[in-house]
Amino acid sequence: MDKPAPHPRFRGRPPRSALQLTEQEIRQSYWRYSNAHIFPQKALRADVSVQRYAVFPRPYYVDMLKTCVECSRAFIFYAREQHYWYETLGFYIDVDCVRCVECRRKQRAAKRHMERYAELQARDSLSRKEMMHFVDDCIFLFQQGQLKNLSHLGSIKNAALQQIPDYAGTKTLQLLLQSARTIGEIS
């Protein structure tokens, strides 16, 4: 298996406390650990009093090797990260981490672009700054395959050429549309 994708925040930090637990003790402590790839030497004790759970809490956090559902790379869901998820952020204890940190970041960025695009799209007029944001969102969503209507994008490009012709994003959008249309003609 490839080397797991790095995590900028949690990699390489020493464990908060050194727990003397056997692998079996950890595996038996929580259902998800029973057949997961875990690193038992790095377990942390959890504060179950602040966890959100229905029946069974998670008494320990342990580094787990996982495969990202998006990019299929291996990554580690760190014990310290679990502590943060389940005690600071208050995530429900059975919520699992299925994406590597890079894919999680991309997913959040996509959500932000989509929300802002939808908001700006609904306005009657946009300031120069808003128009720049709108063009950025269109470029991002188009490249992600979430915006596909070329004539809709074409009219946004024309509005951008009117209002912010000197903005680099306007040129980018124009070039993207040109190449998309060229590909459309060839195929």
Question: Which positions lie near Zn ion, rule CB under 5 A?
Answer: 68, 70-71, 100, 103
Task: Find the shortest distance in angstroms from Cβ 34 to Zn ion.
Answer: 25
Shortest Å, Cβ 3 to Zn ion: 14
Least Å from the CB of residue 147 to Zn ion: 23
Residue 52 burial (CB count, 10 A): 13
Query: Which of residues 5 and 21 has its CB atom nearest to Zn ion in the complex?
Result: 5
Q: Could you give phi then psi for residue 36, rounded to 5 degrees?
A: -90, 165
Q: Could you give the count of Cα atoms lying within 13 Å of 101 in the half-sphere of its Cβ?
A: 13
DSSP assignment of the chain: -PPPBP-TTTTTPPPSS-----HHHHHHHSGGGTTSEE-GGG-EE--GGG-B-SS----EE--EEEE-TTT--EEEE-HHHHHIIIIIS--BTTPPP-S-HHHHHHHHHHHHHHHHHHHHHT-S---HHHHHHHHHHHHHHHHTTS---HHHHHHHHHHHHHH-TT-HHHHHHHHHHHHHHHHHHH-
Please identify, using beta-carbon distances, which residue of 69 and 175 lies nearer to Zn ion.
69
Minimum CB distance to Zn ion smaller for 107 or for 179: 107
Q: Kindly tell me which of 70 and 96 has the beta carbon lying closer to Zn ion.
A: 70
Q: Least Å distance between CB 83 and Zn ion?
A: 22
Write down the least CB distance from residue 106 to Zn ion, Å. Answer: 8
Nearer to Zn ion, 45 or 73 (CB): 73
